[in-house]
Chains A and B, each alone.
Chain A
Amino acid sequence: MAAGTGPVIDPIHQFEVHPIVPLNIGGLDLSFTNASLFMVIVLGVALLLMLGGTAGRSLIPGRLQSMAEMLYEFIEDTCQSTMGSHGRKFLPLVFSLFLFVLLSNLIGLIPGTFTVTSHIIVTFALAAVVILTVIIYGIAKHGTHFFGLFVPSGVPKPLLLLIVPIEVISFVSRPISLSMRLFANMLAGHIALKVFAGFLLMLSAAGGWFALAPLPLAMIVALTALEFLVAGLQAFVFAVLTCIYLNDALHPGH
């Protein structure tokens, strides 16, 4: 194969961040980038759906309003079942996280777009919001009793020497696993799509081999369907885990 003359697809290219409007404040590079642009697009779609869709306050909802209501009732049910009635105060946080992650994932599936959640710093920041909320609310509400979270009741004293560090490690690893799960899912899915797209182009450009080109194409179709599932599922997982962690802040006793 004539290397270099055929089309080349760089599966990493889609994750690159370039400044659109350079902005430098106090030595920090706060440029408005393509990542920022898609965050704004996610926000715009979210507002269109949740504010524009419900502006009519119709008793009989239209399409947008039923979508907004379905999302609301879905997250409300999730909050209710994991946190009980005390969880209502966290509904806006869980809902915003769910909607932001869901729309980022889905908008990222449109070819040519940028996936906001495919960057570890974004998912880590979202996870940090959750964990900081847990810690701050837990200490403000329960004081030192909050640290009872690390001391399971009914465990013999000598065993606590072993259990408490394990509980602390598991608590600390929560934001990492929460952010890693979302980031890795988005990253891997998009890389896989691009890799198979690359196969498709290489086969098409390689003389008689183009007969095999439908194989990666079928793979891309299947993977795209899978990615839609993953996009919704990861947003849901993020929201459910957020609820479970917030439940610790509400009810620290084991």
Chain B
Amino acid sequence: MSFSFIGAAHAAGAPAQGGMFPPFDASTFASQLFWLAVTFGLLYVLMSRVALPRIGGIIADRRAKIESDLRDAAAAQKAAEDAAKAFEAGLSQAKANAQGIAQSAREAASKQADTRRHAVEADLAAKLAVAETAIVEMKGKAMANVAAIAEDAAAAIVERLSGAAPAAADVAKAITASAKK
């Protein structure tokens, strides 16, 4: 070894015990290099062949899994949004339907009420007309009776005052004349 100049004198006898600074003791170099080559070589081979590809694979798998999960989540969210949109559309459709139904029901009800009111009004008008004719009739009769009563009353008054009963024709003439005034 190139380091033999440091420890050549001491290398022969007592290993590392004879005042020699151990890291510079060239007698141990061969053994250190040999076992370093064995252990580090083994470490390198196992890391490059087994450990690092395995860890790289684990990390890549995880990344792929996370990405696919995120994609699935995005698709699920899209589906949920579509469903919400469809629900909204159905809801507004149903609202419009309900309004239409309420509108037509209201119209039908008011039409029915109108027809019934018209029928009742017509009925009432007919009754009114009948009553009016009856009143007119009765009024005419009553008026005819009034003249007769007036003649009787006038004849009675005149008889009481004058003591003589007037002629019926004269009384009737006088009544009609005073009624005309």
Binding site for B on A (CB under 8 A): 12, 15-19, 23, 28-33, 35-36, 39-40, 42-43, 46-47, 50-51, 54, 57-59, 61, 65, 68-69, 72-73, 91-93, 95-96, 99-100, 116, 118-122, 125-126, 129, 183, 187
CB nearest neighbor in B for A58: B58
CB nearest neighbor in B for A68: B55
- Shortest distance from the beta carbon of A213 to any chain B beta carbon, whole Å: 29
> Do A15 and B40 have beta carbons less than 8 Å apart?
no
Asked if B56 is at the interface (CB within 8 A of a chain A CB), the reply is yes
> Do A28 and B21 have beta carbons less than 8 Å apart?
no
CB nearest neighbor in A for B6: A120
Chain B residues within 8 Å of A59, by CB: 58, 61-62, 65
B 58-85 binary contact with A (CB < 8 Å = 1; else 0): 1101100100000000000000000000
Could you list 10 A-B pairs, sorted by A, with CB under 8 Å?
A: A12-B21, A30-B34, A35-B31, A46-B43, A47-B43, A57-B57, A69-B59, A93-B48, A96-B43, A121-B33
Chain B residues within 8 Å of A54, by CB: 51, 54-55, 58
- Looking at chain B's contact residues, the main secondary structure is helix
> Do B47 and A50 have beta carbons less than 8 Å apart?
yes
- Shortest distance from the beta carbon of B2 to any chain A beta carbon, whole Å: 10
- Complex CA gap A16/B14 in Å reads 12
Chain B residues within 8 Å of A100, by CB: 39-40, 43
Contacting residue for A43 out of B22, B27, B42, CB 8 A:
B42
Asked if B35 is at the interface (CB within 8 A of a chain A CB), the reply is yes
Chain A residues within 8 Å of B59, by CB: 69, 72-73
> Do B52 and A92 have beta carbons less than 8 Å apart?
yes
Chain B residues within 8 Å of A118, by CB: 23
- Shortest distance from the beta carbon of A192 to any chain B beta carbon, whole Å: 16
Count how many chain B residues have C-beta atoms less than 8 Å from C-beta atoms of the other chain.
41
Asked if B87 is at the interface (CB within 8 A of a chain A CB), the reply is no
Chain B residues within 8 Å of A68, by CB: 51, 55
- Complex CA gap A124/B102 in Å reads 96
> Do A39 and B36 have beta carbons less than 8 Å apart?
yes
Chain B residues within 8 Å of A99, by CB: 43, 47
> Do A92 and B44 have beta carbons less than 8 Å apart?
yes
Chain B residues within 8 Å of A125, by CB: 32-33, 36-37
Closest 4 CB pairs of A and B: A92-B48, A36-B35, A50-B51, A15-B22
Chain A residues within 8 Å of B29, by CB: 121
Contacting residue for A47 out of B17, B21, B31, B46, CB 8 A:
B46
Asked if B90 is at the interface (CB within 8 A of a chain A CB), the reply is no
> Do A95 and B23 have beta carbons less than 8 Å apart?
no
> Do A51 and B50 have beta carbons less than 8 Å apart?
yes
- Shortest distance from the beta carbon of A139 to any chain B beta carbon, whole Å: 21
- Shortest distance from the beta carbon of A93 to any chain B beta carbon, whole Å: 7
Chain B residues within 8 Å of A116, by CB: 36
> Do B35 and A35 have beta carbons less than 8 Å apart?
yes
- Complex CA gap A93/B36 in Å reads 15
> Do B36 and A17 have beta carbons less than 8 Å apart?
no
CB nearest neighbor in A for B25: A17
> Do A33 and B43 have beta carbons less than 8 Å apart?
no
- Complex CA gap A46/B46 in Å reads 10
